[in-house]
Amino acid sequence: MPITVGHDSAKTRKTLEAGGQSVAYYSIPAAEAAGLGDFSKLPAALKVVLENMLRFEDGKTVTTDDIKAFAEWAANGGKANRELAYRPARVLMQDFTGVPAVVDLAAMRDGIKALGGDAQKINPLNPVDLVIDHSVMIDEFGNPRAFQMNVDREYERNMERYTFLKWGQTAFNNFRVVPPGTGICHQVNLEYLSQTVWTDTDQSGETVAYPDTLVGTDSHTTMVNGAAVLGWGVGGIEAEAAMLGQPISMLIPEVIGFKLTGAMVEGTTGTDLVLKVVEMLRAKGVVGKFVEFYGDGLDSLPLADRATIANMAPEYGATCGFFPIDDETLRYLRNTGRDEDRIALVEAYAKENGMWRGADYDPVYTDTLELDMGTIVPAISGPKRPQDYIALDKAAAAFGEYVKGVREGQDVTPAAEVRWEGEGGAPEPVDIPGDEGRHKRGFVKTDEHGYQLHDGSIVIASITSCTNTSNPYVMIGAGLVARKARELGLTRKPWVKTSLAPGSQVVSAYLEAAELQDDLDAVGFNLVGYGCTTCIGNSGPLAPEISKCINDNDLIGTSVLSGNRNFEGRISPDVRANYLASPPLVVAYALVGDMNVDITRDPLGQDKNGNDVYLKDIWPTQQEVAELVERTVTREAFQSKYADVFKGDEKWQGVEVPQQETYDWPATSTYIQNPPYFQGMGQEKGSISNITGARVLALLGDMITTDHISPAGSFKDTTPAGQYLIERQVPQREFNSYGSRRGNHEVMMRGTFANIRIKNEMLDGVEGGYTKGPDGEQTSIYDAAMAYQEQGTPLVIFGGEQYGAGSSRDWAAKGTALLGVKAVIAESFERIHRSNLVGMGVIPFEFTGGDTRKSLGLTGEESVDIAGLDDVKPGQDTPCTITYADGSTKEITLKCRIDTAIEVEYIEHGGVLHYVLRNLAQAA
């Protein structure tokens, strides 16, 4: 389907000869020559957005004033208050977020037919790639059968979902599915789908070159910014609107320049660097901003490390972390198998349009900060947040302080009296550094042996996630640590569940070529699948005896993973403390099995002769790693593994689907259900009403993540979601996960605010998805919400700072809306979740004047009235009356976080998809 550009202006449309072809492009220097402004000092990231304005300028949606605003941005020191209509080139999805998006599209086809429209109008106008990567779960590990057994279980669990997605591939235009077992969407995107400079034909049939841009339904879509592809995560709601031709409304962002100098030193990895970057940028405060990396440090920074830094933009809060095009970009494109003509076009285009990072690259930034990479030291982050940076030599002491914080004030059972089930009496206590009686212990009895678990026992060590498995330097490094450990006779501790889940099949190719996979297998890191696994919460169950020991003795079980997220309750329901680390460190921690051990000083174990083995004895040099990377990470490996990327294995090819325009919703399905959003929807939009007599559903603290609001992992039969499935004869072993059930709104409503670690301050010391119902008694949040709905009572949520941090999870907003919540009032919002709330018709508000839930003395017993919404303007101050339980009232002012004029319309329509659907139905 050709792209529709806004105009064919001779002023900015030029021709470029490169790579044996002639292409049209929209020239920023030509725009300057036409008198539209001086754009020479814009950061490359903003020039990508500016080009988008030039290409789509039509005098209506995009005007010359929008273009001139970029010159004003540069002249004003990197600030301009201008709303833009931005159109990305394509959309990327994964299956957890993709299934509900395709469900919505299928429901929109039903909805448009009900409004008298044509179902074929519901088709992606922009290319959409959906990569199935979130569904493989680690049931089997540590043996050669693990990969195939996990794949078999994946298909058993998910056949309904896969049949539905394959139907979507046949029913919708411009929609491709990358089958299970291929890799993680961001790594497939980086290694294969992305082009850095995109080409397509326009409505006149001419080939046009323009920057490769995208939005994705996963927050780590930002990873591809490492290859100078501007992209970021949005909720599925916003992505669906973009697919259907709706521009993304955005303000010209501030751009923070992050100057990198120096070079990495021996013993450090790209993971250590990114963890420091995350800490620094979180402290800086970059929510809603672009971050662009520059400086001579980039000259020695491989693209794999750049992608690692870009990947974790959601963790440091930025919209994206962008790296301009330079020689390293071209080297990476060539090494990963891109066509030589494309590489030539990328270089020529970047240099012609001012997007090339050369020696003279010196743009204007809103603000800057700087880091000498020579100061980076080995590090981890945890136990709850990615920004909780800890230098490795301080990790054991920091864990001890964490335990102290958890245990202070609790009745700690003395070690000698720990109860355990089995024969032989209690184990002998072991000394734990900094113990002082705080640590709890338990004992596991197995057929072969017994071993003690205690606070800090590492029960999961996982090489996982797009963040690090895309980086051959740290993956080869992990293999070399395993090789050296194997040679000395070390292996994982028996209580550690180890796993290796590469982000693409190319990783397996180079690990095998380097003969490192055998070494990883020998210490327990067998291949378990190609997908997100532990990082998304698909770590699978622990051994029953280990799970029982942890829960019976209230132990602080620990995980170490090479991922990007370690939020509470995400990794495993049995694990309380989670640490992010480089793949080589994951292997090292599996060998020692205990967070209380200082692995920078203490031995990891003993060799075959009983000699102590230290981390320095098994750590590879940078030269060892670089030589293996150079020899085994080849252009041919990428070309071979991606040759049939959409074909899939025999299992995928055997999935049969109906050929039909609309979906035949199976009434008995517990995975896929027709959502209620568009049922009974009329032709005309409504209006925004004031909120009157709203009750508080939850009173929440700081850093409430989308994992807290809509968890992705497993759930028990005692939860509302579990009860729903039990009532439909689904046994608990077939529950799968919340993430896999996102195509069924009934499950997801029941899972909203159901994270096992969420704390509702309306209740004293209670964790999990509970609140007070209309009768004042404790009940589940879902049951309370349904009771309030029966009474016709609107609901509000109160929160603290950074509400909605983390994943781009649209169900965090969808579930909130379906529970009957009309407003969320917080101290601050993360970008994606704020947008998702608006997209679902829920209004976000921020406290003003220093007010907080604490300063106002809120208990959750209050009722809330918010006025001024019947004529709301973007960003306006809004009066709010809080009526306390004793009848007293307090007037406060809230800032309405409906940020743009188009968002006002979305709310009036009941959400962005309702807005799009009505417009499509009414279009000729």
pLDDT of residue 435: 54
Does one domain contain both 413 and 473?
Answer: yes
The total number of structural domains that make up the chain: 3
Q: What is the CATH number of the domain that holds 196?
A: 3.30.499.10
Does one domain contain both 371 and 410?
Answer: no
Q: What is the CATH number of the domain that holds 895?
A: 3.20.19.10
**Rounded CA gap, 833 and 12, in Å?**
36
375, 404, 436: which is the final residue of a domain? 375
Does one domain contain both 817 and 850?
Answer: yes
In a domain, 718, yes or no: yes
Query: Which of 177, 149, 174, 152 is CA-nearest to residue 164?
Result: 177
In a domain, 243, yes or no: yes
Q: Which range marks the domain in which residue 894 is found?
A: 691-922
Does one domain contain both 702 and 836?
Answer: yes
What would the pLDDT profile of 703-737 be if each residue is shown by its tens digit? 999 999 999 888 999 999 999 999 999 999 899 88
> Do 763 and 770 touch, CB atoms closer than 8 A?
yes
**Rounded CA gap, 323 and 224, in Å?**
9
Does one domain contain both 362 and 399?
Answer: no
Does one domain contain both 330 and 385?
Answer: no
Residue type, 693: G
Q: Is 306 exposed, middle or buried (0-12, 13-18, 19+ CB in 10 A)?
A: buried
**Rounded CA gap, 167 and 185, in Å?**
20
Contacts of 280 (CB under 8 A, 6+ apart): 316, 369, 371
> Do 208 and 25 touch, CB atoms closer than 8 A?
yes
- What is the total residue count of the chain? 924
Does one domain contain both 205 and 251?
Answer: yes
Does one domain contain both 296 and 429?
Answer: no
In a domain, 553, yes or no: yes
Q: What is the DSSP annotation of 200-244?
A: EEBTTS-EEEEE-EEEESSGGGGGGGGGT-EEEE--HHHHHHHHT
Does one domain contain both 899 and 864?
Answer: yes
In a domain, 503, yes or no: yes
Contacts of 599 (CB under 8 A, 6+ apart): 392, 395, 396, 585, 588, 589, 592, 615
Residue 289 belongs to what H/E stretch? none
590, 617, 633: which is the final residue of a domain? 633
In a domain, 66, yes or no: no
**Rounded CA gap, 686 and 908, in Å?**
5
Query: Which of 92, 95, 134 is CA-nearest to residue 537?
Result: 134
CA 558 from chain centre, in angstroms, equals 22
Does one domain contain both 321 and 383?
Answer: no
Where the chain has pLDDT below 70, the residues are 1-3, 6-10, 409-438, 924
Does one domain contain both 383 and 342?
Answer: no
In a domain, 296, yes or no: yes
**Rounded CA gap, 196 and 212, in Å?**
5
In a domain, 856, yes or no: yes
Lookup: tokens for 898: 């409906």
320, 344, 375: which is the final residue of a domain? 375
In a domain, 443, yes or no: yes
Does one domain contain both 625 and 700?
Answer: no
